Amino acid sequence: SLSGKNAVVTGSTSGIGLAYARAFAAAGANVVINGFGSPEDIEKERAKIESDFGVKAVYSPADMIKPAEIAGMIALGEKTFGSVDILVNNAGIQFVSPIEEFPPEKWDQIIAINLSSAFHAIRAAVPGMKKKGWGRIINTASAHSLVASPFKSAYVSAKHGIAGLTKTVALEVATSKITCNCISPGYVWTPLVEKQIPDTMKARNLTREQVINDVLLDAQPTKEFVTSEQVAALALFLCSDDAAQITGTNLSIDGGWTAE
């Protein structure tokens, strides 16, 4: 149980991040949620976490591109709940383009959101975790922290960077009862992915099954999507006492993608 623990999850207004926040709350943790979206939708998700699980949930609008706002998000968690025991760095964006046309400002944005934001959040959260003598830091990396795909130079670089940051932090906090790991999902089934299927069927004149298996799941030997809930369950395990000696690792959950 995570009762009495407090978690911050960046990029938790949708997808994998929301699944992490709900899984921690289901286990009894209070949560700080973060990310973009319409104020009404965010308030609905926040209130639903509280009513579904009987914990406290607060929203931080911090933009992961802005170091001062990231520090403010950690401070909000500490001020509201007394501590930040679990930090999940999950916010991320993608941009796909050949490198010679890749906009330099997109490169900077992806490195800031997908990599540097984790540095700023960890930097701000570690003193409190050391003071409490317990902590869990989890970074959402990707299969792209281990292998590359063409046209994703910034994303692949940021995710490889997250894997290195994870190992470094794990070593630095190893004797402080704080673990730091990253989770590397393959293709995760989200509404975002689902919504792409009809357009792809039309564009390529394929059936739904062909789009799923020959286009989307080409990289994934199981030919099945990972679910957000499966990723969240792995994060929940990393927060348990049984996982106290798992640190500095990069845990793949990718249907065999990176085994090939």
The site for ligand NAD (CB under 6 A) is made up of 11-17, 34-37, 63-65, 90-93, 113-114, 140, 142, 185, 187-188, 190, 192
CA-closest candidate to residue 185, choices 1, 15, 29? 15
Output the CA torsion sign for 255, 14, 249, 161: positive
C-beta closer to ligand NAD: residue 3 or 38: 38
DSSP state of 27: T
20 catalytic residue (yes or no): no
- Tell me which residue of 109, 141, 137 sits closest to 123, measured CA to CA: 137
Q: Report how far Cα 6 is from the mean position of its chain's Cα atoms.
A: 17
* Catalytic option among 20, 59, 155, 187: 155
Q: Which residues pair with 251 in a beta bridge?
A: 183
Structure tokens at 153: 């130079």
Among candidate residues 25, 116, 33, 43, the one with its CA nearest the CA of residue 77: 33
- Closest approach of Cβ 114 to ligand NAD, in Å? 6
| Residue 114 or 250 with smaller CB distance to ligand NAD | 114
Least separation in angstroms between CB 12 and ligand NAD: 6
Pick between residue 36 and residue 237 the one whose CB is nearest to ligand NAD.
Answer: 36
Cβ 145 to ligand NAD shortest distance, Å:
9
Q: Which is nearer to ligand NAD, 28 or 61 (CB)?
A: 61
| Beta carbon of residue 11, minimum distance to ligand NAD (angstroms, whole number) | 3
Report, as residue numbers or ranges, the catalytic residues. 155
